[in-house]
Amino acid sequence: MEKPVMVDVRDVTMEFNMSSYKVDSLKEYFIRLMKHELFFKSFLALDGVSFQVRKGDVLGLIGLNGSGKSTMLKIISGIMKPTKGSATAYGTISPLIELGAGFDADLTARENIYLNGSILGYSRQFMDSVFDEIVDFSELHNFLDIPIKNFSSGMQARLGFAIATVVKPDILIVDEVLAVGDFKFQEKCEKRIRELMSNETTVIIVSHSIEQIESLCNKVLWLNKGKVVKYGDALAICDEYKNA
C-alpha cells in the first residue's frame, strides 16, 4: 500500500519582478515611475512545478545555481506564497533554510536556543527539557554565553540543526546548511537524519553534494531554470544529472 502524501505541490509558479533599470535613489525611482520609464521584467523562478512527497520519503532537490531549489523549500515551509498553484504540507515542519535564520546575532547561543524554540512554537518548559540535548549535539558547551555573531558559519549550522531536529517533526527541510559543517558534523547530521527517517519523518534536502544525495535520498527532484527536469528514483536521476 502506498504511504500517505505529506507534501503536495501542485502547479507551483513563482514570479519575481526585476526592474529593468538600475535605479540609484528613491527620487529617481519616482521620477521614472511618473514618466512611465520604469519597466518590470517578470521572471519565473518556478514554472508549473508539481510533485508529491510521501511519508518516510527522503527527497533530494538538485539543480544548478538559481534553478529554484531554495524558492521551492520556502514555498513548502510557508515562508513564501506562490504566484500560482499550491503547496500543502500535512504535519509539523522544521525548516532549516538559511544560516542564522531564526537567530538574533546579538544574543548568546543560550538565548538563541530559547528564541528559536519559541519561533518554532515550543514552550519555555519544553526548551528547558531539551536544552542539554541541543547543546550536546551541537558540541558548543564552551560557547553558550557568546553572541552568535562571533560564531563561525559551521557553529551556527550546528546549533540550527540541533534545534531543528531535537523534536521529531513530521517534515524536516534542510537547505544546504550542512555543507558548512566539517565532515564529522556532516556525518553526525546524516546519522540523525537516518534516525528521523526510521521514525518516518519525511525529509526534503537540498545539496550540491551528489554523493550526499545518493547516500541519503530515495527520491530526487531535478530542477532546471524553475522547471522539473526529472522526478523519481534517486540513484537513476543522480546518474543522469552527473552525465548531463
Ligand X SMILES: Nc1ncnc2c1ncn2[C@@H]1O[C@H](COP(=O)(O)OP(=O)(O)OP(=O)(O)O)[C@@H](O)[C@H]1O
CB of 242 to ligand X, least distance (A): 16
Stretch that binds Mg ion, among 45-53, 61-69, 136-144, 228-236 (CB under 5 A): 61-69
E-strand spans in the chain? Answer: 5-19, 40-54, 58-62, 84-89, 93-96, 171-175, 202-206, 219-224, 227-233
Q: Which does 71 bind (CB under 5 to 8 A by kind): ligand X, Mg ion, none?
A: ligand X
Separation of alpha carbons 84 and 45, rounded Å:
12
Stretch that binds ligand X, among 20-28, 69-77, 113-121, 209-217 (CB under 6 A): 69-77
Q: Is 186 in the site for Mg ion (CB under 5 A)?
A: no
Measuring CA to CA, which residue among 195, 200, 176, 196 is closest to residue 186? 176
Separation of alpha carbons 190 and 85, rounded Å:
32
Q: How far is CA 66 from CA 20, 59, 71, 77, in A?
A: 19, 19, 9, 19
Separation of alpha carbons 45 and 226, rounded Å:
5
CB of 234 to ligand X, least distance (A): 18
Q: Which does 95 bind (CB under 5 to 8 A by kind): ligand X, Mg ion, none?
A: none
Q: Is 77 in the site for Mg ion (CB under 5 A)?
A: no
Q: Is 232 in the site for ligand X (CB under 6 A)?
A: no
C-alpha cell recorded at residue 185: 558534523
Candidates 9, 57, 71, 102: give the one binding ligand X (CB under 6 A). Answer: 71
CB of 126 to ligand X, least distance (A): 32
Interface with Mg ion: number of residues (CB under 5 A): 2
Q: Is 77 in the site for ligand X (CB under 6 A)?
A: no
